[in-house]
Structure formats: C-alpha cells, structure tokens
Amino acid sequence: MSEPSELPAFLRGMDGAFNLISRICLIIAGTALVAMTLMFAWLVYGRYVMNDTPTWVEQVSHLLLMVIAFLGAAVGVRQDTHLAVVYFRGAVPSWLRTVFVFITDVLMAGFGAMMFWYGLELTLFKWKTLVPLIQVSEGFRSLPLTICGALVFLFSTGHLIRLLLGRDDRKDSIE
C-alpha cells in the first residue's frame, strides 16, 4: 500500500471516507448478527421452555439477514475480499491483468448502479405495505439492497480512480 503522505489529498480523503463507511457497515452488520443470534435463542427458549413461540422472530430475522448480507457484500467490494475468479488474471501478463481489473471494476460499478436504481424503485414501491406481525414497512426488506448498490458503485468507482492514477494497491491487480 502506498504511504499515506505520498498520496494526493483527495485520495487520502476518499480512502478515509470509504474506510469510515466500511467500518460503519461492519458495525451495523455485526450488531445485526448478534441481535439475530439473541432472537433465535429467545425463539428456542420460548418454544421449548415456555411453550409459547414468539412469532415476530422470523420476520425480524429476515430483515436482519438482508442487512448482514448486503452490507457485508458492499464491504467485501471495498476490501477486495468479494468472491472473484483470479485464475485468468494470474495467468496473463501484467498489462493484460490491468485491463481485466479495469473491466471488472467498470462492470462492478455498473452492477452497483443497477442495484441502487432498481432497489430504490422496489423500496419505494413496497414502502406503503407493512410486514405481517411486526408492522414495519415492507420497503425495509429492500432498503439494504439499495444501500449496497450505492456502496458497490461508490467503492468500485474508487477502485477505478486509484487504478487510473496508478495508485491501485490491490494485490491481484498489478504486480
């Protein structure tokens, strides 16, 4: 990774902002995971000890699962730990590998933009409908998809900026 003092100010600012957003996403996803675990413990206790199953747990856990999955995916794009097939990139010369990385980042940015756009449409469409048993907006189910799309677009664009400036430090991109 390039030394922070060597980076232009706007790259340092971008990295700082993206790292902060990433950290916030991880904290939210981690908190959702802990909450879901505690809820399922309550579900098991209620079902087998009290013989009174809390019915709201399933609906809330669906919402939390969306938060965990989509925020985790966005962070994976930022940290370059998302699922990737790098066999072909590793088998080609460095200049071609850079082209492959560029194409991948452009496709990821486009995919993130589409996730955001269509996720927003879905969220707005479902906003007036309520989730049974918990009476919150059905739009909350697709809101993490929308947020993830925006973050994937943002993080992929950040990777592209670094790549075009020759400051891409991802271990797979350029040797």
Residue 69 CB coordination number (10 Å): 15
> Does residue 56 belong to any structural domain of this protein?
yes
* Full residue range of the structural domain in which residue 133 is found: 4-164
> Does residue 173 belong to any structural domain of this protein?
no
pLDDT in tens, 131-155: 988 999 999 999 999 999 999 999 9
Cβ neighbours of residue 63 closer than 8 Å, sequence gap 6 or more: 131, 136, 140, 141
Selected residue with higher pLDDT from 72 and 87? 72
Selected residue with higher pLDDT from 43 and 171? 43
CA 98 to chain centre: 24
pLDDT at 13 > cutoff 50: yes
> Does residue 62 belong to any structural domain of this protein?
yes
C-alpha distance from residue 74 to each of 53, 67, 161 (Å) = 34, 11, 18
pLDDT in tens, 21-60: 999 999 999 999 999 999 999 999 988 998 888 889 989 9
Q: Give the total number of structural domains in the chain.
A: 1
Q: Is 64:92 a contact under the CB 8 Å cutoff?
A: no
> Does residue 105 belong to any structural domain of this protein?
yes
